[in-house]
Chains A and B, each alone.
Chain A
Amino acid sequence: GAGVSQSPSNKVTEKGKDVELRCDPISGHTALYWYRQSLGQGLEFLIYFQGNSAPDKSGLPSDRFSAERTGGSVSTLTIQRTQQEDSAVYLCASSLDIRTGSGNTIYFGEGSWLTVV
Chain B
Amino acid sequence: RKEVEQDPGPFNVPEGATVAFNCTYSNSASQSFFWYRQDCRKEPKLLMSVYSSGNEDGRFTAQLNRASQYISLLIRDSKLSDSATYLCVVNSETGGFKTIFGAGTRLFVKA
Contacts and interface: CB of A to CB of B under 8 A. Distances in A.
Contacts of A98: 97
Tier of interface size on chain B: 20 to 34
A25 interface: no
Interface of B: 31-32, 34, 42-46, 49-51, 87, 89, 91-93, 96-97, 99-104
A35 B101 contact: yes
B84 to A, nearest CB: 14
A84 interface: no
A108 interface: yes
Contacts of B51: 102
Interface string A74-105: 00000000000000000100000011111011
Contacts of A106: 34, 46, 89, 99
Contact of B101 (A45, A48, A102): A45
Nearest to A55: B96
Tier of interface size on chain A: 20 to 34
B110 to A, nearest CB: 20
B43 A100 contact: no
Contacts of B42: 110
Q: Identify which of A35, A50, A106 gathers the most chain B CB atoms within 10 Å of its CB.
A: A106
A101 B101 contact: no
Nearest to B85: A42
B64 to A, nearest CB: 10
